[in-house]
Amino acid sequence: MMRAVPNAIRIAAVGDLIVDRPNPDQFFTAASSLLRAADVAIGQLEVPHATTRTVATADVPAPPADPAHLAAVARAGFDVLTLAGNHIGDAGGEGIAETIEAARAVGMETTGAGADLEAACEPVVVSRGGRTIGVLSFNCVGPRDSWATSRRPGGAYVHVHSHYEAVGANPGGPPTVHTFADPRSLADMRRRTEEASAAVDILVVALHKGLVHVPAELAAYESEIAHAAVDAGATAVIGHHAHIMRGVELYRDRAIFHGLGNFVTVTDALTPAAAGIEEQRRWAERRRTLFGFEPDPRLPSWYPFHPESRNTAVAVLDVSPSGHLHWGIVPCWIDEKGRPVPHGNDDLGRTVIDYIRRITAEEGFRTEFAWEGDEVRIRSSEQQGDTE
């Protein structure tokens, strides 16, 4: 695909990566040329890639994937992996250390997790075309035992509170749920973002956030934290965790991709027939009750996600030689082999963009999507055009 902006530096970002099936290269074959063409490609690694069998969470544990599979991720074109997420601490400090070591051994940098909180909050900084690009990663969904401290390995985080308010004279009925970031935790994230922004030309902040498996619904804390990141100097904000696409917001002329959904997410861990751990089996069996969906029967059992999650995308930021920012999306469709397949202005590409346009509107954002060749440019409804 031709770049919309000649001679630009391109940053590409995708959502969750779970690379836990044999022959992992096969899942990237359709998208690898697009990723390798970017100057920097960023992905969110959802689970540890390690050989340890340590279990360090009381939540539903994600078994570590084979660290050798990260070589396929690197071959696909990824340069930076963000690690802050709800599963990064599932295999303890050993799993985090092995994951970082395995990623670096194949040429990828990581941010968002480490041996302590300062290491977890250290940004990745790379240089491309005379510009410096920084990446930070924060987990906004817990659990607490995944969080790094000054003395414990884990992930960088923003602490989010939930308040449940009873509605009317209906004790025990469905409540109104209010969510908001802990002020001190949010202030720490802002400080770290300001410091990173001052040291680089372009800063991408990745947030692990959102309501899982639920179409077109944002919790209040999501915009609060994303806006705080932009206010502190983030050039772009990318979201993941929900395993389904979210809308795109333009805030202060900066793009917030509230959720990039799944990219390569292939795992047996949530398949009842294959899940060998009791907590995983119970979780898989409760899926219908909790989220009201069944996976698309056309996909293998190791893609156990919402049918609408087949709509996904690669977010792109092109930085022109003059420093002007151009936001865009390359629509992708997850095919029957679990592979994200980029599409241009064809039937499937238009279907995916129509989906993103619809959920963006349902989430209350006045963002416009306009085809430009085989990519889609993103503008606010008030924007009349680009200026150099």
Matching residue, tokens 């969110």: 44
How confident is the model over 305-336, as pLDDT tens digits? 999 999 999 999 999 999 999 999 999 999 99
H helix runs in the chain, sequence order: 32-37, 70-75, 92-105, 117-120, 183-199, 220-231, 278-291, 347-362
Note the pLDDT of residue 187. Answer: 98
Note the pLDDT of residue 166. Answer: 87
Note the pLDDT of residue 280. Answer: 61
Number of residues that make up the chain: 388
Q: Categorise residue 338: left if φ over 0, alpha if ψ from -120 to 50, beta otherwise.
A: left
C-alpha gyration radius of the chain: 20
Within 10 Å of residue 115's Cβ, how many Cβ atoms?
A: 16
Q: Give the integer Cα–Cα distance in Å for 130 and 128.
A: 6
Within 10 Å of residue 351's Cβ, how many Cβ atoms?
A: 14
Q: Give the integer Cα–Cα distance in Å for 235 and 213.
A: 27
Q: What percentage of the chain exceeds 70 in pLDDT?
A: 91
Domains in the chain, CATH or no CATH each:
9-380 (3.60.21.10)
Note the pLDDT of residue 384. Answer: 44
Which run of H or E residues covers position 32?
helix 32-37
CB 13 within 8 A of CB 45: no
Note the pLDDT of residue 387. Answer: 42
Q: Judge if pTM exceeds 0.75.
A: yes
Residues of the chain with pLDDT under 50: 384-388
Phi, psi values for residue 160, rounded to 5°: -115, 135
How confident is the model over 72-109, as pLDDT tens digits? 999 999 999 999 999 999 999 999 999 999 999 999 99
The beta-strand segments (E) located in 149-188 are 154-155, 160-165, 176-181
